[in-house]
Amino acid sequence: MTTDQLFARTQARYERWDADCARNADIRRRVRSGQPVEQVARHYNLSDEFVGRIAGAFGV
């Protein structure tokens, strides 16, 4: 791989990581504010179990 390709791949990974962090923070905020896990999961098209794990990891 060339240096440009490696940079592009690293940049794409960073952008995915950043987007996931923002999504998880929003999930935490929504659950803390009292929204049901099922409703938050539907908003993000995620499983209830996955959203519950995220909320649990943040101690919500």
SS (H, E, C) the chain: CCHHHHHHHHHHHHHHHHHHHHHHHHHHHHHHCCCCHHHHHHHHCCCHHHHHHHHHHCCC
The structure's pTM equals: 0.70
Q: Which tokens in the block code for residue 13?
A: 């990974």
Residues of the chain with pLDDT > 70, as a percent, come to: 98
**Residue 26, pLDDT above cutoff 70:** yes
Confirm whether 27 is domain-assigned: yes
Structural domain count, the chain:
1
Task: Give the per-residue pLDDT at 7.
Answer: 93
Rounded Cα–Cα distance for residues 22 and 32 (Å): 15
Confirm whether 30 is domain-assigned: yes
Task: Give the per-residue pLDDT at 24.
Answer: 86
Confirm whether 41 is domain-assigned: yes
